[in-house]
Amino acid sequence: MSAIKSYDHPTNANQFNQDQDRTHWHDSSLWFIREKRDRMSKSLPEWETLRSCASQIKAHTVSKLADYLEEFEKNATARGVQVHWAKDAEEHNQIVLEILRKHQAKRIVKSKSMLTEECHLNPWLEKHGIEVVDTDLGERIVQLRQEPPSHIVMPAIHLKKEDVSNTFHEHLQTEKGNNDPNYLTESARQHLRQKFCQADVGITGVNFAIAETGGFVVCTNEGNADLGVSLPKVHIACMGIEKLIPKADHLSIFLRLLARSATGQPITTYSSHFHGPVEGGELHIVLVDNGRSKIMNSDDYRNSLKCIRCGACMNTCPVYRRSGGHSYAATVPGPIGSILNPLRDAKHHKTLPFACTLCGSCSDVCPVKINLHEQLLTLRTEVKNQKQLPMSKTLPMRIASYVFQRPKLYAWLGGIGKFFLRTMPRFLIYNPLNPWGRHREMPEAPPESFRQQYAQRAKKKSDDR
């Protein structure tokens, strides 16, 4: 994967915005999906009931997570599954590597898994001489470009068909300049078919694991997860511990919510159920904590573990749509990523809680009712208390706090501000040394302040009596 140049969201967003055409196209593409989600959700009269049920099931599961994990392990083991526990990303990668070495595997096909992205599994395996091929089309495109995914559901949403054509021409020797989507898709299909046939082991993620049965479900639109684990005799499923639900009866609620929220579909094309290894094969499940227990113990952020990774919060977020997924410099971008990443690494991701307008649209569309914008507001205070904010942010806020607590001083400064807004030369605000003024216009100074208007109306009312 390409090295991260900066963790600073404003810097990365500014870079993305240099190409205004791409910014507008990215914005409108995601809004199109958001509108599809709205139409699909409104077609179900019971939509809000489903959201409430899902939220309650997830809250209950998280409150008894240890019990359900033990139940899942017991039932999965009874079905012949080998269950592994990993406390962090390093342990997860080591477990996967040991399984591959045991089977002398050199070629791996992997379906989309944000957990393996979070653990940086691909570079770890490649460092040990193992070829890893992402088989989701979007993920394969960004893998060939040595980029991380920019969206958790649509990894290549930041790219146009011309970009894909150039990438395929460079790596798959397709016809130069041929941007036809059917031609490009067929080329990718032929390329991936060889990889499926040559694979020694298949790796998948997990969308939902069921404690009651010990089985799990993987949702895809391309069927690549099924293909990837059908030919090899060894299947490794990598799963964050929060992906658990208690009973099989609960699954239909989440399947109805997931695809509608993610892409505006009634259901994903493939919802593949796994209950034990294939005949003569092995099925391994790696349960990964990697900081989730710490989040579970926090009253303020526990709700973020309800996330089912649909990406709806990203599709609606005005900041994400206009700054692109790579500007977050994190595996999970957007509003939910702006919570999860600073909780794991506040030093590097301290700018993310501020990449938010607090409009609340993310909370409105979340299928499991995570209070995203409220958590982001709380997280800002936490980042500030950890002294991760630069003086350029803290000093103005201290001055503003001082002024707002003194009404007479506020009124006096307001009068001075109006005077300077009317008379000050424009270049003093809008110049290269003032980043605030690059994309903003100050409002026109009113002839009278609110206080003056209020006093005049009160006087007129008194005179009329």
Confidence label for 220 from pLDDT (cuts 50, 70 and 90): very high
Query: Taking the CB of residue 396, how many other CB atoms lie within 10 A of it?
Result: 10
Residues composing the chain: 465
- pLDDT tens for each residue of 175-194: 999 999 999 999 999 999 99
pLDDT bin (cut points 50, 70, 90) of residue 1 is very low
Q: Is the pTM of the predicted complex or chain greater than 0.85?
A: yes
Q: Which of 144-153, 166-175, 375-384, 412-421 has the lowest mean pLDDT?
A: 412-421
Average pLDDT of the residues of the chain: 94
For 262-309, the pLDDT digits (tens) are 999 999 999 999 999 999 999 999 999 999 999 999 999 999 999 999
For position 431, what pLDDT does the model report? 85
Q: What's the longest Cα–Cα distance across the chain? A: 95
> What are the residues facing 202 on neighbouring strands?
109, 235
The CA-to-CA distance between both ends of the chain, in Å, stands at: 76
Q: pLDDT tens for residues 426-440?
A: 888 888 888 778 777
Q: How far is CA 55 from CA 47, 302, 306, in A?
A: 12, 12, 7
Q: Which residues contact 258 (CB under 8 A, 6 or more apart)?
A: 207, 219, 268, 308, 310, 367
